[in-house]
Structure 1
Amino acid sequence: MPIDPQAFPAYRPETTLLDLGDPFFDPVAAADFPHTQLRFRNDRAAAQVGLATLDDDEWTRHFGRFAPLPGTLPGPLALRYHGHQFRNYNPDLGDGRGFTFAQMRDHRGRLMDLGTKGSGQTPWSRAGDGRLTLKGGVREILATEMLEALNVPTSRTLSLIETGEDLQRGDEPSPTRSAVMVRLSHSHVRIGTFQRFAYHRDDDALRRLVAYTLRNLFEEHGDDPVRLLALVVARTARLAARYMAAGFVHGVLNSDNINVTGESFDYGPWRFAPTWDPGFTAAYFDHQGLYAFGRQPEAIHWDVMQLAVSLRTIAESDPLIAALDGFGPAYQTEVGAAILWRLGVRPRDPNSDRALVQATERALRTSGAGIDRFFFDAFGGELPAGYGPEWDEVRAALGGYAARKDRTHPYWSGTPCSLLIDEVESIWAPIADADDWSRLTAKVAAIRAMGEALA
């Protein structure tokens, strides 16, 4: 049976993407997979957009065979964009193994997209097969669950369905199993979307995209490019700050991977850093450490600079530069708030907060302590006695801070929840060897428990 929107009062479909018109996307069709076996459904995220009451057969039909959801887009659309990849401009990009196939409002009234990964070839696939490995889908589940729990604005993995194909890959044992993933995201408009129309000198399309983004993603009227840039600066500075507080390394912070809403998405080679090591990288091919842990704020700022460059033909340079200059101060404010959040204390005053954050970063860097262990132990503002003299500055700075939440949740009676690469591999191994999904299920539950304790 098709979904009846009247039966789901929280389901509010939208079609705003169609307002942009043909230059922004290409209609495509999903691949016809040999079979579809549901492996993961995120009912918590689905409930926020009115889709949690789908039974498994309906779920698989919509998110594995891509039968259209009612009232929204009539078919899948592969989005067009360009981007800088490791600082090299590439005009041959676009959705190559994914598409957007539905839009709707969430419980907060935000416009949300359902987008795919591994759904087949598009005009932008180049030589790729348009597929996703099952392991890649499992890794994306873990990344999005952990980031959500750690207060990082992120897309959510809504669905993972195994598709029955054997894939050849150069970076993991092959043949390997295939899957199609659906993500729930606050837009798929990227910095690279603006770059494409600047590259083609299509000022009318740029203005239309600015107005669309302001109206639908920031709920503001008008078509002022400078205002848009200022909003993107604020959102991306927050993202960079929360990456750092989470100890997360995205791995591929190209301008086509930066959503203008400041929501992180598209997790390929990601890692959580075990210690506060600025040079720690996630991608084996990032030989120069361009997107290393400590360089992520710089990398995101550089990407936002490319948005400013793209807007120069429809705005004056000086106000764009002024808006761009706001990134550094915004980042400093946001990283302070993010680290205080992980410490579980309430802000006091700017000078005290700055001193605490600087002392924390310094001690983490010089001591080599585990990031997750430290924030677990210090949550609520009291550092245990086992932390030696190198932590005296942090201990002194914490004095006088009030806890923003107590430690009564059962999570605090256990051990820190972390997600280092060895554990990711240990979760995947029983799936690959014996189709045993119990470790993944248990880990998602543990991550969500941590999120409850921190929230």
Structure 2
Amino acid sequence: MTPEPQAASTRADPAILSIADAIAHPVKAANFPQTILRFRNDRHAATIGLDALDDKRWCHHFGRFNPMPGNLPQPLALAYHGHQFRNYNPQIGDGRGFLFAQFRDDKGRLLDLGTKGSGQTPFSRDGDGRLTLKGAVREILATEMLETLGVHTSKTFSVIETGESLWRGDEPSPTRSAVLVRLSHSHIRFGTFQRIAFEDDAAKMHRVVRYALETLYDQQNGENDAAALLNLAVERMADLAASYMVAGFVHGVLNTDNMNITGESFDYGPWRFAPTWDPGFTAAYFDHGGLYAFARQPEAIHWNLGQLAVALRLISDAPPLIAALERFGPLYQQALVRRFCWRLGVVPQGMETDRALVGAAEALMMQGGLGIDAFFFAWMGDATPECPADQQGTEGEALWSAFGAVKAGYAPARVRTHAYWQGDAPQSMLIGEVEDIWAAIAERDDWGPLSAKVDAVRTMGEALRG
């Protein structure tokens, strides 16, 4: 076979091998009947020098999982435990995915290529190790929208249809199958540390904590590695929780095995974007008690950090871990107003004033009949829109005026010069459109609506960065 065409910036770095014996099992990918390329993310492939691969080689690596040059010789299924809806489960791990390769990007950061739907592993239990094509399409849409809205998220790197038919109890079956590759800064989960604590292996905990500090955070030796890592995780997770709220996003399954130690959102199953600022809005049909409802996500993430702290007690005294956890609330509030001002396109004025701005906006969205995406679109930057006719003479008009009065004191950080702001309506990712995009694929094999939506969302990203 001829040598791989790779850009000069490509740097394979399988750093995970230093701790693979502690947290991973070598596995083989499933042998799929077909590899039909449906989506490739060349924008992010360029950051690790893989955009030069032609489609045949792309499928060779990301459908057949032949090793990348100088990278992992064999995929690794990662081992972890986790609290699932706050019930501890020691019987989980990478049951339908694995870590395939690691690279340094063009900024020197370590990046993982991990899979979803790549076949059975020692952790599959009764699962088939597969992913539905619909699930892969939904992950494309979630990650593209979240990235545009500034959320620290994994990226959907590749989706390849595999030619298999799957049976699922929660969607029409048989349904089509796919294998997805995601790009993220790590696949080390809170549940990884929980598993090590369950094993009561302090030496292993020290190794994995040091790996996380050195390779993921570029942190050298300190007085207390466990506390240092928890502080970094608290900072990242407080920001993630705030970014979910400002995006109007509901992950759906915020279990500790779905928490990444880098504070990066990933693993999208029953996600939804909330149409309105509804604190009780849930994404998962099985979340009967609303544990992971829209407004409870910060609480859920903080609780998960508490479980990480419990695991890290294996190698640390409690006081510095408690001190780290107590930072979450103030950091979350700071991140919330900062991110809110960013999406609204105004210059922050200070915590007290900015909290009043957020409060007035929440009241308008909750009681004034204005959707989240419509609110940010109408009021972005230097805009001072008039109250809609259907709200005049109602409580909504008073809320509209109240928010306008608060926002009048803010200087715009963004002006509406991009063509996106001249449109009639904002981009959104509500469930009806997601289902329509999938229906076009399922019924007519029409991938046009998906491609058009990705392009439109990326255009919105350009406008938000402008």
TM-score band (shorter)? over 0.9
Question: What number of residue pairs does the alignment pair up?
Answer: 454
Aligned match of 1:70: 69
Could you say what secondary structure the match of 1:238 adopts? helix
Judge which range, 414-423 or 374-383, deviates more. Answer: 374-383
Aligned match of 2:247: 246
What is the one-letter code of the residue matched to 1:416? Answer: P
The 2-side partners of 1:119 and 1:175 are apart by: 18
- The C-alpha deviation readout for 1:281-330, integer Å capped at 9, x for no partner, is 00000000000001000000000000000011211111110110000000
The 1-side partners of 2:384 and 2:204 are apart by: 54
* Match runs of 1:45-444 below 5 Å: 45-222=44-221, 224-386=225-387, 388-414=397-423, 415-444=425-454
On the 8 A contact 1:146/1:447 being kept in 2, the answer is yes
Could you say what secondary structure the match of 2:288 adopts? coil
The 2-side partners of 1:229 and 1:368 are apart by: 40
The 1-side partners of 2:207 and 2:443 are apart by: 50
Could you say what secondary structure the match of 2:180 adopts? strand
In the superposition, the TM-score normalised over structure 2's length comes to 0.96
The 2-side partners of 1:327 and 1:248 are apart by: 20
The 1-side partners of 2:274 and 2:3 are apart by: 43
The 2-side partners of 1:99 and 1:171 are apart by: 24
What is the one-letter code of the residue matched to 1:141? Answer: I
1:452 to 2:453 alignment: no
The 2-side partners of 1:348 and 1:109 are apart by: 34
Could you say what secondary structure the match of 2:146 adopts? helix
What is the one-letter code of the residue matched to 1:447? Answer: V
Using the TM superposition, give the Cα deviation of residue 153 of structure 1 relative to its aligned residue in structure 2, in angstroms.
Answer: 0.4
Aligned match of 1:22: 21
On the 8 A contact 2:82/2:92 being kept in 1, the answer is yes
Judge which range, 342-351 or 75-84, deviates more. Answer: 342-351
Using the TM superposition, give the Cα deviation of residue 234 of structure 1 relative to its aligned residue in structure 2, in angstroms.
Answer: 0.4
- The C-alpha deviation readout for 1:381-440, integer Å capped at 9, x for no partner, is 433012522122211111232222221111111120001000000000010011110000
In the superposition, the TM-score normalised over structure 1's length comes to 0.98
The 1-side partners of 2:162 and 2:72 are apart by: 24
The 1-side partners of 2:245 and 2:253 are apart by: 15
> Equivalent pairs: percent with the same residue?
63
Could you say what secondary structure the match of 1:54 adopts? coil
On the 8 A contact 2:102/2:110 being kept in 1, the answer is yes
On the 8 A contact 1:276/1:368 being kept in 2, the answer is no
What is the one-letter code of the residue matched to 1:365? Answer: M
The 1-side partners of 2:302 and 2:384 are apart by: 34
Judge which range, 394-403 or 200-209, deviates more. Answer: 394-403
On the 8 A contact 2:382/2:415 being kept in 1, the answer is no
Judge which range, 276-285 or 21-30, deviates more. Answer: 21-30
The 1-side partners of 2:367 and 2:295 are apart by: 14
Aligned match of 2:394: none
- The C-alpha deviation readout for 1:356-392, integer Å capped at 9, x for no partner, is 1222122222223100000001110433012522122
The 1-side partners of 2:269 and 2:126 are apart by: 18
Could you say what secondary structure the match of 1:170 adopts? coil
Q: Any stretches of 5+ residues in structure 1 without a counterpart? A: none
The 2-side partners of 1:71 and 1:357 are apart by: 49
The 2-side partners of 1:263 and 1:3 are apart by: 34
The 1-side partners of 2:18 and 2:363 are apart by: 49
Could you say what secondary structure the match of 1:94 adopts? coil
What is the one-letter code of the residue matched to 2:354? Answer: D
Could you say what secondary structure the match of 2:32 adopts? coil
On the 8 A contact 1:382/1:398 being kept in 2, the answer is no
Runs of 4 or more above 3 Å deviation: 1-5
Q: Any stretches of 5+ residues in structure 2 without a counterpart? A: 389-396
Judge which range, 261-270 or 358-367, deviates more. Answer: 358-367
Name the CA shift for 1:18/1:2 in 2 (closer, same or farther; >3 Å).
farther
Could you say what secondary structure the match of 2:414 adopts? coil
The 1-side partners of 2:44 and 2:415 are apart by: 26
Using the TM superposition, give the Cα deviation of residue 350 of structure 1 relative to its aligned residue in structure 2, in angstroms.
Answer: 2.4
Using the TM superposition, give the Cα deviation of residue 2 of structure 1 relative to its aligned residue in structure 2, in angstroms.
Answer: 5.4
Name the CA shift for 1:229/1:409 in 2 (closer, same or farther; >3 Å).
same
Could you say what secondary structure the match of 1:48 adopts? helix
